Amino acid sequence: MINPNFARSLSLLRQEKGISQRQAARELGISQALLSHYENGVREPGLLFVTKACDFYGVSADFLLGRTLSRDGTTIIDADTLYDVSTERDSAMQGSIMATLSKKLVMNSVSLLFDLLSRLGSKSAIKAASNYLTTTVYILFRHLHMASPDGNEDFFSVPETQFLAGLPWADLAMNEAEYLDALDNPGRDAKFPAMDHNAMKEAYPGTYQSLLQIVHSCGERLNAAMSAHRERNR
**Cα first-last separation, the chain:** 67
pLDDT tens digit sequence for 205-234: 889 989 998 998 899 889 999 999 999 998
pLDDT of residue 73: 57
Domain that residue 198 falls in: 93-232
Is position 83 within any domain? no
pLDDT tens digit sequence for 76-121: 444 344 445 555 555 545 546 677 778 888 999 999 999 999 999 8
Is position 124 within any domain? yes
* Higher per-residue confidence, 188 vs 32: 32
* CB contact burial 53-75 (16+ within 10 A = b; e otherwise): bbeebebbebbbbbbbeebeeee
pLDDT of residue 178: 96
Is position 88 within any domain? no
Q: Would you call 117 exposed, middle or buried from its count of C-beta atoms within 10 A (0-12, 13-18, 19+)? A: buried
* Residues 97, 58 share a domain: no
pLDDT of residue 68: 65
pLDDT of residue 21: 93
Residue 50 maps to which CATH number?
A: 1.10.260.40
* Residues 118, 210 share a domain: yes
Sign of CA dihedral 180, 183, 184, 185: positive
* Residues 152, 49 share a domain: no
pLDDT tens digit sequence for 152-171: 777 788 899 999 999 999 99
Q: Is the pLDDT of residue 61 over 90?
A: no
Q: Is the pLDDT of residue 64 over 90?
A: no
CB count within 10 Å of CB 151 equals 14
* Residues 57, 98 share a domain: no
pLDDT of residue 75: 46
Is position 77 within any domain? no
Looking at 64, 81, 110, which one is the last position of a domain?
A: 64
pLDDT of residue 184: 93
* Residues 226, 157 share a domain: yes
* Residues 175, 104 share a domain: yes
Mean pLDDT of 124-141: 95
User: CA 145 to CA 141: how far, in whole Å?
Assistant: 6
pLDDT of residue 131: 94
Query: Which pTM does this prediction carry?
Result: 0.61
pLDDT tens digit sequence for 199-213: 999 999 889 989 998
* Residues 162, 50 share a domain: no
* Residues 104, 43 share a domain: no
* Residues 97, 44 share a domain: no
Is position 72 within any domain? no
* Residues 210, 119 share a domain: yes
* Residues 148, 209 share a domain: yes
In the chain, % of residues over pLDDT 70: 85
Torsion of CA 130, 13, 41, 73, to 10 degrees: -70
Q: Domain count of the chain?
A: 2
Choose among 24, 44, 43, 41: nearest CA to 32. 24
User: CA 9 to CA 16: how far, in whole Å?
Assistant: 10
Is position 80 within any domain? no
* Residues 128, 13 share a domain: no
Is position 36 within any domain? yes
Is position 81 within any domain? no
Contact 168, 131 (CB under 8 A): no
Average pLDDT, the chain: 85
